Amino acid sequence: MWTWLLIMACTTSNPSGLSSEASAARDRLAQALGPRDLVAVQTAVEQAVEWEGQDPELDRLLGDALANVLMHVEDGRARLENNPDRDSDAWNNAFLLATARTGDVNLMTETWTTLGRSVPPFDNPVTPSIVQRLKRNPSMTLEAFEKPIVDCGLMDAQPPVGRDALDQAVSSDLLTVAPWVGADTVVIGRPRSKSDPDPDQARGPIQCARKVLLDEWPVPLSKTLTVGMASGNRRVYIDIQPMNDGAWAYATSDDLAGGAWVKAMNLAGAPNAEALVQARFPYGLWAEEKTP
């Protein structure tokens, strides 16, 4: 049924404007793309395709609908590529999502770079499963696609050996203070479990190479936990275990930065905590701490 829909309707040569009927069809398609409802978008595409090739904005909407809702990825991406509008956030977002849905790591890297967007580590093993999730979910945002890839890149970079001993009680305030000391990315994860779904099924929690990402600090803490932070090109990790109904940090990848992170955490409950932490660690965890 899609054969006629996917043929370029280029028998006319870009008239100066669309008819009122064509404009109404374009507007209905734009409206249907808001909630990304499959049936509504399919109906709107069938109504609008008659005027394909007569208006770049209509063609961009058709491209977004085909690639990112109806999952005719190659056809939709081609329409977006042939009708670029780099000044439009909507076009950039649609084109990046269409590219992501191809699952082509090299094409993703090239497209992100061309559009001047920070490139996630697409070579991370988690990327195919996130692409699967993206292709199953038309409402998944670009940020929701990128974040687990970036987070797994950070989590998987934890050194497997060479950790320093740490012996401190800790809490979820580690996550609270991380942005105050210059964190660009913060991750939290637990070891894999036999009860976790097969990673190839791309469902349930995000499974990195060695750890499972968590959205928040678990309560109660029943397993070991790793928190990690990236600040510029520096990284620090803290390993945590449950102890006496609390959480205890027992190892860190960086004695200086890990210890400073715990010190900053201990200030989280003070008045004006954010300002206090930033005054104590104005240059981040790897610089000398400022004494009061």
User: Does the pLDDT at position 2 exceed 70?
Assistant: no
Mean pLDDT rounded to a whole number for the chain: 92
User: Does the pLDDT at position 11 exceed 80?
Assistant: no
pLDDT grade for 3, boundaries at 50, 70 and 90: very low
The whole-number pLDDT of residue 92 equals: 98
Measured CA to CA, the distance from residue 256 to residue 236 in angstroms comes to 9
Q: Are 36 and 65 in contact (CB under 8 A)?
A: no
Measured CA to CA, the distance from residue 165 to residue 240 in angstroms comes to 11
User: Does the pLDDT at position 159 exceed 60?
Assistant: yes
Q: Are 227 and 174 in contact (CB under 8 A)?
A: yes
Full-model pTM: 0.90
**pLDDT, mean of residues 198-227:** 91
User: Does the pLDDT at position 16 exceed 60?
Assistant: no
CA 38 to chain centre: 23
H-only helix segments in 115-254: 127-136, 142-155, 173-177
Q: Are 66 and 79 in contact (CB under 8 A)?
A: yes
Of 136, 135, 105, nearest in space to 120 by CA = 105
Measured CA to CA, the distance from residue 188 to residue 224 in angstroms comes to 11
E strand or H helix at 32, and its extent? helix 20-32
The whole-number pLDDT of residue 163 equals: 78
246 DSSP β-pair partners: 243
**Helix or strand or coil: residue 204?**
coil
User: Does the pLDDT at position 291 exceed 90?
Assistant: no
CB count in 10 Å sphere of residue 244:
7
242 DSSP β-pair partners: 247
User: Does the pLDDT at position 180 exceed 60?
Assistant: yes
Burial of 4 (0-12, 13-18, 19+ CB in 10 A): exposed
Q: What is the pLDDT of residues 113-155, one digit of tens each?
A: 999 999 999 999 999 999 999 999 999 999 999 999 999 999 9
Q: What is the pLDDT of residues 217-229, one digit of tens each?
A: 999 998 899 999 9
Instruction: Tell whether the torsion through CA atoms of 185, 188, 193 and 197 is positive or negative.
Output: negative
User: Does the pLDDT at position 38 exceed 60?
Assistant: yes
User: Does the pLDDT at position 265 exceed 50?
Assistant: yes
E strand or H helix at 237, and its extent? strand 234-243
For the chain, percent of residues with pLDDT exceeding 70: 94
Measured CA to CA, the distance from residue 93 to residue 108 in angstroms comes to 13
Q: What are phi and psi of 252, to 5 degrees?
A: -145, 155
